[in-house]
Amino acid sequence: MKKWIGLAIMLLLVFGSVAGVSAAETKVIKMTAEKYHFTPEMITVNLGDKVLLEITATDTEHGFGLKAFNIDQNLPKGKTVRIEFVADKQGEFTFKCTSFCGWGHFGMTGKLVVS
Ligand SMILES: [Cu+2]
């Protein structure tokens, strides 16, 4: 009987810690920016996720602006830029290019969905 209780507690600890670790896991999303779109154009994460964006502007300089999370980052051509934030707000948020890159610049947007 005691053995079972010990085993049950051990299992709880193991599963508890696994769940804890996965909740704190960083979601890494690789993106590219090029005239005139981001790939992917839609990012979906869970509320509370730590998000690490690795964005590479492939053709010219671009920018990554995500106002709701106070992010405005320049993306020099050919360089992978890492942007980290915590998705601590639920909803749909628009991100956009913040460095003028040509006639399609103002339509260079995407969406972050935090659910
Ligand atoms: Cu641009």
CATH number at residue 50: 2.60.40.420
pTM above 0.85, yes or no: no
Query: One digit per residue, pLDDT tens: the chain, 115 residues?
Result: 666 656 554 555 555 555 554 555 799 999 999 999 999 999 999 999 999 999 999 999 999 999 999 999 999 999 999 999 999 999 999 999 999 999 999 999 999 999 9
Domain count, the chain: 1
47 Cα to the center of ligand 1, angstroms: 28
65 Cα to the center of ligand 1, angstroms: 10
96 Cα to the center of ligand 1, angstroms: 8
Burial class (CB in 10 A: 0-12, 13-18, 19+), 8: exposed
The verdict on residue 103 lying in a domain is yes
pLDDT at 66: 98
C-alpha R_g of the chain: 19
pLDDT at 25: 77
Domain span including residue 106: 24-114
